Structure 1
């Protein structure tokens, strides 16, 4: 059986492992058995029934996706993105999936990983081998907050506060009585003030630590589900790098380094969603602009095409006729 030629491997040749060869790509960099492109190709063919003759059973059922998040063996609730395409979005699912295909090829596990190394926190070229380059992606991770795994959490060392949107807070199912009032507004870089709904303490678990963190609760439409500021980064003994797409933390005993990996796919998906929303808002604003009214020539003196004036074409027939009569009665004014 022959397959159509796949997209070439995007990783630069000098960064590939030349001891590994993929028969599907006919190139170096990974083994055929580890080729995700081939795996997806075969799975799609199975779903379409094109490989039925090669199956022991004639029907292929795609394995159900499971919730990979668990704490002490117990699965936890997962809060995904607040954003989503609106129901009246005209872009088809197939078009949307095709636009995201390249980023899904590069999805990394966002589960925390423990790296045994010296206690010095550093970044090197080895960290870039699992990052799509070049990129301008923010560092977006997943965090266990209270008893929920929250996706699309922005690590922002420029923010002095941890921020949670009301829509996310409601999904945590915490009594609103836990929220304390505050009179300190959030300040944007442009000086814009946002009055928060209050503040609340929530437990955040990552890198073998559970910290009680103070969050500012806002009612604004969130860009991300959570924003974790520099105070939390410092209390985690962590250093974040958007280039390397990782927040690297010392363990509580200081004997190992624990990585909180970024999810470039989540970052790119959000970027595409915001681009779509911005374009939609722009189109709506454009549609609300008054259209340029067409003009209609009117003979000031009936039968004399040399003396004309112009009037808008919008008046109804009765008004239009009355205006023309006024113009012709005062023809001298248009000389």
Structure 2
């Protein structure tokens, strides 16, 4: 059936092993197929996965006529009771045989780590009261201001299409930041047209966004590029995730 993994012929056979015994599973001498614990474990695992259930006696099952085992299965799975009914693959008819079988099996235990209690979040909702004044639809860019490194920075474009937070080099110098504060970034940025842009580096700065009392203070990483742009900064998806924020263009929020 292709569901049993046959081991390679690489077992070390003791010189004192019985050379008259042959295991058709390992294809080696030293023990016979009925004594093969590796095969027993594989069969037990297959039973747990749902195979061969028709040959396993369930507790409380009514006696029925004799069933013939399929070919190529070891006899130890087919120990029969007095009624010649197939019993479970527990290794034998007597209690001693079953205890011996259970000691030979490898029993794995799957333990899942306890999950931490999820923090309850406040729902974010918008209504018509939050709509901006003026004609709709309003499809202008969402441009905000926020405090970065104790300075208010204007003309910050919020763009959920950007995979990084971009700070233009002119804004970096106006914040009075030294160039040695930049950390090297080896991966270039790819623009909308597919052109690659080498970065000046990355910097992590404290930011505060929002209006009191609804403000958020976090440390945010920016990728600094030496290009000319109408905006000072582009807030991408990393910033939105860190701030746990969403964009609703209709409400300009």
Normalised to the residue count of structure 1, the TM-score between the two structures is: 0.37
**Rg larger for:** 2
Q: If the length of structure 2 is used for normalisation, what is the TM-score?
A: 0.48
User: Counting helix residues as a fraction of each chain, which structure ranks higher?
Assistant: 1
